[in-house]
Structure 1
């Protein structure tokens, strides 16, 4: 959000959203389809998804089963849309296995606290 603040004439700050840029980014999001990647991933790639249980976003019908059928995993996380702030410890637990081998001391030190 702070990257959208600019100095205002006469002092203070003002918002300066690039509405065309926002529209372009959203159109790109809508046009992006990665099912081909999931169906034929590079050797050794497994994709894990995090599904926030309290998010208002709804997965299209059958997407979760289709992902699992392709050999990828969907993890349910008790969180809203902002999973990294709603449940950082739970997200860490999901992601930690992909970090490689960590000694227990480092793993404990790296785990975010759950407030």
Structure 2
């Protein structure tokens, strides 16, 4: 693999990972800023504050996997998580539409990894 391809893959990894790390860390620091992004229906399963406490570490794990584990699984998980967010929040498409682009980046990363 040439250096420009390696650099492109690194940039994709950083971009996808940032999309998971920033909201997770921000939700720990200021959960009230993020609670509004958790769909109301989640409240029927678990309080939204608890959901953030559960989901945020998962996001960090996925981000670290994308950055440091040179396997397809973390990128596939990231892409599936993002598409799921879009599907479950279709009524908020004006907010979650960027998740589609990031999901495509994650799937491209998965394709770039040797099996």
Q: TM-score, normalised by structure 1?
A: 0.28
Q: Which has the higher strand share?
A: 1
Indicate the structure (1 or 2) with the bigger Cα radius of gyration: 1
Q: Which has the higher helix share?
A: 2
Q: Determine which structure has greater relative contact order: mean sequence separation of CA pairs < 8 Å that are 6+ residues apart, divided by chain length.
A: 2
Q: TM-score, normalised by structure 2?
A: 0.28
